[in-house]
């Protein structure tokens, strides 16, 4: 007997359920961040919006409190991008993604700038610089450039960010706060001497217990999925071995016959489940964690949402699928007000329009209390 075939709506509803987008979860911020295995945070505000749309009674101040308490951190990990993660996951995931980060660095546009420099020495020098206190990028560039004057200081800093797990410390990353980047060593910041390097046993791609547990957690958040999907999320290669070592349930994608894997105890969502209007954050996990995004984003709409240089717009969900984009109106903020502008891909029904207008008003009231609010719609495009 063949595998059960899953249609696109079943995959859509199941992903939304596991991403806490089918219904908001009664969970705290730290629990949600762990369940999601982190949220992309190269734009510091993105995780706040991603958590608001997933959690009941989300408080925009809570992630900042957790960052200040060092229970959450922001650092480069999956796909070479900054993520908001729990301290425990930061130690683990940074070590696990290190081979992918190293590979990307060697082929990056930064590589010519540190050609001939021993990066082990750069990492050691960077650790010594940061042993006492956090430093700004400018301070690190100055010190690294003085130590290796024949190399490019900006390339040396990029190499240090890849070779060592550097946390961007508060007030950077706090909602409504201003603050430039300052770096600290992850292990020093969270009180784990040696930091991510102590988890090096999970770096070898052997498919061992540590990697298998990450596969289970990935599927719990993003499944059913393929090894290629997890590779897209993480940047790591060679994941088939870890999938094969686990007792997973296999399905078949109805549209193209791909084999999809899931936890044997995991539940599939009912494809007929109604999905409420949602404002999904820019750079959200929902759009960045599968090689095949069609369970939520139509192929024809990809370039409307994700640019060639990797910028990812905030999106609206209409019947569970990406139906347009949204953004805060910067001009309104300059006038002391708050507004969101919604650009649908197709004409909205009156019901969808009203639902998105109500949801946008709730977002503005939570994110910018005390300001005059408005939700505006542009013509479809």
Question: Residue 205's pLDDT band (boundaries 50, 70, 90)?
Answer: low
Three-state DSSP at 99 gives: helix
Query: What is the pLDDT, as a whole number, of residue 202?
Result: 46
| Cis-peptide, bond into residue 265, ω within 30° of zero | no
Residue 199 near residue 92, CB atoms below 8 Å:
yes
Q: What is the mean pLDDT of residues 65-71?
A: 98
DSSP-assigned states of every residue in 48-88: HHHHHTTBTT--TTHHHHHHHTTSEEEEE-GGGSEEEEEHH
pLDDT band at residue 206 under the 50/70/90 scheme: low
Separation between Cα atoms, residue 332 and residue 345, nearest integer Å: 23
CB of 27 within 8 A of CB of 33? no
- pLDDT tens digit sequence for 6-54: 999 999 999 999 999 999 999 999 999 999 999 999 999 999 999 999 9
Per the DSSP assignment, residues forming a β-bridge with 86 are: 72
> How confident is the model over 107-149, as pLDDT tens digits?
999 999 999 999 999 999 999 999 989 999 999 999 999 999 9
Q: What is the pLDDT of residue 265?
A: 97
Helix, strand or coil for residue 339?
strand
* Residue 194: band (very low, low, confident or very high) from pLDDT cuts 50, 70, 90: low
Query: What six digits make up the tokens of 43?
Result: 């734009």
SS3 318: strand
Share of the chain above pLDDT 70, in %: 96
The pLDDT value given to residue 381: 80
Q: Is the pLDDT of residue 179 over 90?
A: no
**What pLDDT sits at residue 127?**
97
246 burial via Cβ count (<10 Å: 0-12, 13-18, 19+): middle
pLDDT-derived band at 241, boundaries 50, 70, 90: very high
pLDDT score of 369 more than 90: yes
In the prediction, which pLDDT does 178 show?
A: 81
pLDDT beyond 50 at 198: no
Asked if the model's pLDDT at residue 308 lies above 90, the reply is: no
Instruction: Measure the CA–CA gap between 150 and 152, rounded to whole angstroms.
Output: 7
The pLDDT mean for the chain works out to 94
pLDDT band, very low/low/confident/very high, at 367 (cuts 50, 70, 90) = very high
Banded model confidence at residue 196, pLDDT cuts 50, 70, 90? low
Q: What's the confidence (pLDDT) of residue 352?
A: 97
209 confidence band (pLDDT: 50, 70, 90): confident
Task: Give percent above pLDDT 90 in the chain.
Answer: 89
Residue 378 CB coordination number (10 Å): 11
């Amino acid at each position: 007997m063949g595998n059960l075939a899953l249609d696109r709506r079943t995959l859509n509803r199941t992903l939304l359920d596991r991403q806490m987008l089918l219904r908001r979860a009664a969970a705290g911020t730290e629990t949600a961040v762990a369940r999601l295995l982190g949220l992309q945070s190269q734009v510091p505000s993105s995780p706040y919006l991603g958590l608001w749309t997933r959690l009941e009674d989300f408080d925009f101040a809570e992630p900042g409190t957790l960052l200040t308490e060092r229970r959450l951190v922001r650092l480069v990990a999956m796909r070479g991008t900054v993520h908001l993660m729990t301290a425990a996951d930061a130690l683990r995931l940074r070590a696990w993604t290190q081979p992918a980060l190293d590979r990307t660095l060697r082929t990056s546009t930064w590589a010519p700038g540190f050609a001939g420099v021993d990066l082990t020495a750069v990492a050691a020098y960077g650790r010594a610089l940061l042993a006492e206190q956090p430093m700004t990028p400018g301070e690190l560039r100055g010190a690294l450039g003085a130590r290796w004057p024949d190399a490019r200081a900006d390339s040396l800093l990029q190499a240090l960010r890849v070779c060592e797990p550097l946390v961007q410390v508060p007030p950077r990353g706090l909602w409504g706060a201003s603050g430039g980047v300052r770096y600290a060593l992850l292990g020093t910041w969270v009180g784990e001497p040696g930091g991510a390097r102590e988890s090096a046993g999970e770096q070898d791609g052997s498919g061992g217990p540590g990697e298998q547990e990450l596969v289970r957690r990935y599927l719990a958040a993003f499944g059913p999925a393929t090894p290629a999907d997890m590779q897209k999320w993480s940047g790591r290669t060679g994941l088939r071995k870890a999938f094969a070592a686990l007792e997973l349930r296999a399905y078949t994608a109805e549209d193209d016959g791909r084999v999809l894997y899931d936890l044997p105890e995991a539940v599939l969502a009912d494809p007929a489940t109604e999905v409420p209007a949602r404002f999904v954050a820019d750079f959200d996990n929902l759009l960045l964690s599968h090689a095949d995004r069609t369970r939520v984003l139509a192929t024809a709409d990809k370039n409307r949402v994700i640019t060639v240089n990797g910028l990812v717009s905030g999106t609206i969900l209409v019947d569970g699928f990406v139906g347009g984009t949204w953004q805060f109106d910067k001009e309104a903020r300059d006038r002391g007000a708050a507004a969101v502008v919604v650009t649908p891909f197709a004409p909205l029904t009156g019901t969808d329009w009203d639902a998105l207008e109500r949801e946008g008003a709730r977002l503005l009231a939570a994110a910018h209390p005390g300001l005059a609010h408005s939700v505006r719609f542009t013509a479809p495009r």
